[in-house]
Amino acid sequence: MIIKEFSSKYGVVHVFIENDELWKQFEAYDGLNSLLFKRPAVILVEAIHDRALKRLVSFVLDSTISNHDKAASNIQRSLDTELLRSDDFCSPRF
């Protein structure tokens, strides 16, 4: 809700990346077999995150941190892009 309001108020184009929402895209996923879809969903999160970084698209990454090293890598990759600069913290982009 907050993201939609922010988007409409500031005209921000963003991507919302959520692992749990990606699981629902798998036809065979029924909620009880989540272990079968955990790894494919992580791969999709990585691919979407990579594409957002490459295209310099604002995004919200909402994911369970099950692997500290991977989470640290994702954060560092995000910080290393032109998308986030120190002056952007006051920008309506965020």
Task: Note the pLDDT tens digit of each residue in 33-72.
Answer: 988 988 888 888 888 889 888 888 888 888 777 778 888 8
Torsion sign, CA atoms 33, 52, 14, 86? positive
Q: Facing residues of 15 across strands?
A: 59
Residue-number span of the structural domain to which 72 is assigned: 16-86
**Looking at the domain assignment, is residue 71 inside a domain?**
yes
Mean pLDDT value across residues 13-28: 83
Residue 34: CB atoms within 10 A of its CB come to 13
Would you say residue 2 lies in a domain?
Answer: no
Q: How many domains does the chain have?
A: 1
Query: Does any domain span residue 3?
Result: no
The structure tokens 């692997």 sit at 67
Report percent pLDDT > 70 for the chain: 74
Domain annotation covers residue 9: no
- 84: which 2 tokens? 């986030």
